[in-house]
Amino acid sequence: MLYLDNAATSPMRPQVFAAMLPYLQENFYNPSSVYSPARKVRAAIDDTRAFIGDALGVSSEEIFFTSGGTESDNWAIKGTLEKATRGRHIVTSAAEHHGILYVCKHLEKNGCEVTYLDVDGEGFVNAQDLARALRDDTALVSVMLANNEVGTIQPIAEMAEIARQRGVPFHTDAVQAVGHIPINISELGVDMLSFSAHKFGGPKGIGVMYIKKGTPVFPLFWGGAQERSKRAGTENVAGIVGMGEALKITLEELPTEITRVSALRDKLIAEILREIPHTSLNGATGDKRLPGNVNVSFRFIEGESVLLILDMQGCCASTGSACSSGSLEPSHVLTAMGISPEMANGAIRFSLGAANSENDIYALMQILKPAVEKLRMLSPLYDDYLKNNKGS
């Protein structure tokens, strides 16, 4: 099997599974109980929190465990808006994940006003556009650190500083970034940051919301006093321990993996553009793009059809975010980047990870090129193109 969809989710490391197992079996106790076996479980949570805070350059008291990226994103927006005193205006970008966009759409129906910042042809938000969008009643800015479809890495530190000068809290969705590029949250200067373990070799259903001390945010979940009364509910202990282990391994490997995976990415991009005509790269290049992200559009055909052929040959890829796969609407990210509906519908995302090697690039090219050629032979658009360009 050729797995090239690591941005949708990544395979769990065996060491992560091994670290989690005791907390699903003998160490099953509720961490809120007072007896000593339960205190051992509580210690595992505290140790992981301390490690994560340390690894990301913040205090452990600012790390809150959630069920993943979606919950953290929802919490940042809803929790801030509920407590906002300045007003109910939100600034975000048109290329955010639906975990942000759909919350904003929902809040718009409930009296909030949202400004969706444009992105340029490579997916970048312009920091000066952000500066112009801020108002006296702006309650929150949320701009993602790295885009899940095209891998564009935003200048978050610059934007967070602009918001800070105006006294507006800044949230960033770092779900695709943590474990893939170096991150020091203090240096980024954000007030809130979301991430999710299953994007870097950890388990699904566990993530983090970083909340800078003093940031006014209401809880999303009410009930018990877990997570310092900010996020009620018995902790996903095995998930937390697994996330810590996955982050540890990933960060140890990160310096070499960035170089190795970026080289694989650039090789795959070069091969596709050289071997398959009428193809274009979506997004930025070099270190402004996530190391593992390749997003290309094949003219005249549907990305979904290419995926079906790849799937029949044992290759897993995606047309964009896993959540929007299967929808016939062109990607909102590519549309926001000004890419035509035809090219947006012909887009495919390959996302490389720790388990991929150069052999996978060759294996993919063996099936991708014939797949695109076969579909073009059946495409009325391609037929028209050939007729119109006869002899040219």
Work out the number of other CB atoms within 10 angstroms of the CB of residue 214.
Answer: 7
Work out the number of other CB atoms within 10 angstroms of the CB of residue 118.
Answer: 14
Number of H helices, E strands in the chain: 14, 12
173 or 257, CB closer to ligand PLP?
Answer: 173
Residue ranges of E strands in 230-389:
279-281, 293-298, 315-316, 347-351
Among 31, 53, 68, 79, binds ligand PLP (CB under 6 A): 68
The reply to whether 283 sits near ligand PLP by the rule CB under 6 A is: no
276 or 317, CB closer to ligand PLP?
Answer: 317
Among 31, 189, 207, 353, binds ligand PLP (CB under 6 A): 207
The reply to whether 5 sits near ligand PLP by the rule CB under 6 A is: no
The reply to whether 202 sits near ligand PLP by the rule CB under 6 A is: no
Task: For tokens 């505290």, name the residue.
Answer: 46
Among 62, 173, 227, 245, binds ligand PLP (CB under 6 A): 173
What CA–CA distance (Å, rounded) separates 308 from 378? Answer: 15
87 or 155, CB closer to ligand PLP?
Answer: 155
Per the document, the length of the chain is: 392
The reply to whether 175 sits near ligand PLP by the rule CB under 6 A is: yes
Q: CB 236 → ligand PLP: shortest distance, Å? A: 12
Q: In terms of Cα–Cα distance, which of 88, 116, 85, 89 is closest to 102?
A: 116
Per-residue CA distances from 70 to 177, 251, 258 (Å): 15, 23, 26
Write the interaction track for ligand PLP spanning residues 120-149; mark x where CB under 6 A is met and - where it is not. Answer: ------------------------x---x-
Lookup: tokens for 266: 């650039």
What sign for the dihedral angle of Cα 22, 26, 27, 32?
Answer: positive
The reply to whether 73 sits near ligand PLP by the rule CB under 6 A is: yes
Task: For tokens 């955010």, name the residue.
Answer: 96
Residue 315 annotated among the catalytic residues of the structure: no
Contacting ligand PLP within 329-388 (CB under 6 A):
none
Task: For tokens 């800015």, name the residue.
Answer: 141
Residue nearest to ligand PLP (CB): 69
Q: CB 144 → ligand PLP: shortest distance, Å? A: 6
Contacting ligand PLP within 230-269 (CB under 6 A):
none
What is the SS3 string spanning 48-70? HHHHHHHHCCCCHHHEEEECCHH
176 or 297, CB closer to ligand PLP?
Answer: 176
Work out the number of other CB atoms within 10 angstroms of the CB of residue 106.
Answer: 13
Q: CB 358 → ligand PLP: shortest distance, Å? A: 26
What CA–CA distance (Å, rounded) separates 363 from 356? Answer: 11
Applying CB under 6 A, which part among 68-76, 296-304, 326-334, 359-367 lies near ligand PLP? 68-76
Write the interaction track for ligand PLP spanning residues 182-201; mark x where CB under 6 A is met and - where it is not. Answer: --------------x-----
Contacting ligand PLP within 296-335 (CB under 6 A):
321-322
Q: In terms of Cα–Cα distance, which of 211, 203, 194 is closest to 237?
A: 203
Task: Catalog residues that contact ligand PLP under the rule CB under 6 A.
Answer: 68-70, 73, 97, 99, 144, 148, 173, 175-176, 196, 207, 321-322
**Catalytic residue positions, numbered:** 323
